[in-house]
Amino acid sequence: MREAPDTTTVDVRDPRVVDAIDRYWRRNVRIMVALLVVWAVAGLGCGVLVADVLNRFRLGGFPLGFWFAQQGSILVFVALVLVYALLLNRLDDQHHVELERIGRGARPNSEP
């Protein structure tokens, strides 16, 4: 497990840092909203609201709406949390690299 990065060299009032943090947050929210839309469509949508319509179709021996309510939605939920962990942890890494670059650029000779 990676250690928490040291950000004491970054000045939070630096406009480039403010920008970077802003960008990070917007991307974070975009990923989250996209995943929550899938969450709502799979669980509340396919599993509940249109379950009777989907039940006219079959998936193997399962009526489709019933399958979504008791199996499919759970599989989608597990996948969503996995995708979230992968995407967000990558985004965190990119953000960390970006902040480090700004930190080094701003004070090139500050290292002892």
- For other proteins, the binding residues (CB under 8 A) are 1-8, 10, 21, 24-25, 28, 32, 35-36, 39, 43-44, 47-49, 51-52, 55, 59-63, 65-67, 69-71, 73-75, 77-78, 80-82, 84-85, 88-89, 92, 95-96, 99
* Contact of 108 with 70, CB cutoff 8 Å: no
Q: What's the start-to-end Cα distance of the chain, in Å?
A: 28
Minimum distance from residue 55 beta carbon to other proteins (Å): 6
Minimum distance from residue 11 beta carbon to other proteins (Å): 13
31 is written with which tokens? 């990923």
CA distance 81 to 15: 33
Minimum distance from residue 26 beta carbon to other proteins (Å): 11
Residue position matching structure tokens 């509340």: 44
